[in-house]
Structure 1
Amino acid sequence: MSAMFHKRSVKKAFEQGIRMRNASGFSLISAIFLLVVMAGLGAVMLTFTSVQQTTSTQDLQGTRAFQAARAGIDFGLYQVLAPSATAVCGGAASPVWSGSLAGFQTTVNYACDVFTEGGNTITVFTITSTASAGAVGSPHRVERVLRATVSR
């Protein structure tokens, strides 16, 4: 009885070995599949993070460009409304900024119309301030344009 028991156990062990070898190939394929999926997810997350950072930087630069254009409007209003006004119809000025606006080039243009009303001469100035940073055609270029109208 012992020899017969031994034959059965050897046969059973041999069949289990064949099954184990077949299963080990499947786990290798599963491991490779999981590795590829995880690498793909990592690449997507890296791209997403890069786009988020670029968008955030562009938003900040756009805000700075708006503030530079706004400072240009204030500069232009001062040039028009100051007691010793220096603004010339059709003229332009390029104030230089410091601090966080240092990288922006701002151009302030003055256009004007002169009207006579009831014996009074009224000059209506249209001040256009354009602030920009970055090379034209560059994806990092930002530009903002503001206009204000004032009469004197």
Structure 2
Amino acid sequence: MLTLSTVQHATANQDLQGSRALQGARAGIEWGIYQAMIPESTNMPTGGSPYVCPAGPSSISSLGGSLIGFNVQVQCTMATYTEGDHQIGVYHFTSTSSSGTSGTAQYVERKMSASMSTCRTNGVPCND
């Protein structure tokens, strides 16, 4: 009975950590989308083109609450297209959240992906 109880405790803890890792990956996706959508004046390159993804993965280390101790890496790729005077940016984000040491029973990792697009006309969001 003691072994069964110990295994059940460990399984429940791993399930909880897996849920936390999933929320960390989701936070990474939301952070990436925010970088591409909201800060019009801070993330926009000169010339009014869409936000440019960083060359390498971005690390988010300031997660709080039950996500303290999780490492979140966000990778962004993008393509741009021109339609008339509209510049379309298509983004693909992949977020990986992990905690613990790889190869141990305490290690947990979740990965999530999302795509989105933006439209700019002369550097401002499209209205149509």
TM-score by length of 2: 0.77
Distance in 2 separating the partners of 1:92 and 1:84: 22
Q: Spell out structure 1 runs of 4+ moving beyond 6 A.
A: none
- The aligned counterpart of 2:72 is 106
> Percent identity at matched positions?
45
1:84 partnered with 2:52: no
CA contact (8 A) 1:79 1:85 kept: no
Q: For structure 1, which runs of at least 5 residues remain unmatched after alignment?
A: 1-44
Alignment of 1:60-99 (within 5 A): 60-82=16-38, 83-84=40-41, 86=43, 88-89=52-53, 90-96=55-61, 97-99=63-65
Q: CA deviation at 1:85?
A: 5.4
CA contact (8 A) 1:73 1:108 kept: yes
Q: CA deviation at 1:121?
A: 2.1
Q: For structure 2, which runs of at least 5 residues remain unmatched after alignment?
A: 44-50, 119-128
Q: CA deviation at 1:103?
A: 0.7
Distance in 2 separating the partners of 1:92 and 1:123: 19
CA contact (8 A) 1:131 1:145 kept: yes
Deviations 1:50-108 (A, max 9, x none): 11000000000000000111111111111010123535334432122122101100011
More helix by share: 1
CA contact (8 A) 1:88 1:110 kept: no
Q: After alignment, is 63-72 or 91-100 more displaced? A: 91-100
Deviations 1:98-150 (A, max 9, x none): 22101100011110111223442211010111100011111111001111111
Higher normalized contact order (CA 8 Å, seq sep 6+, divided by chain length): 2
Distance of aligned partners of 1:72 and 1:119 in 2 relative to their CA distance in 1, 3 Å threshold:
same
More strand by share: 2
TM-score by length of 1: 0.66
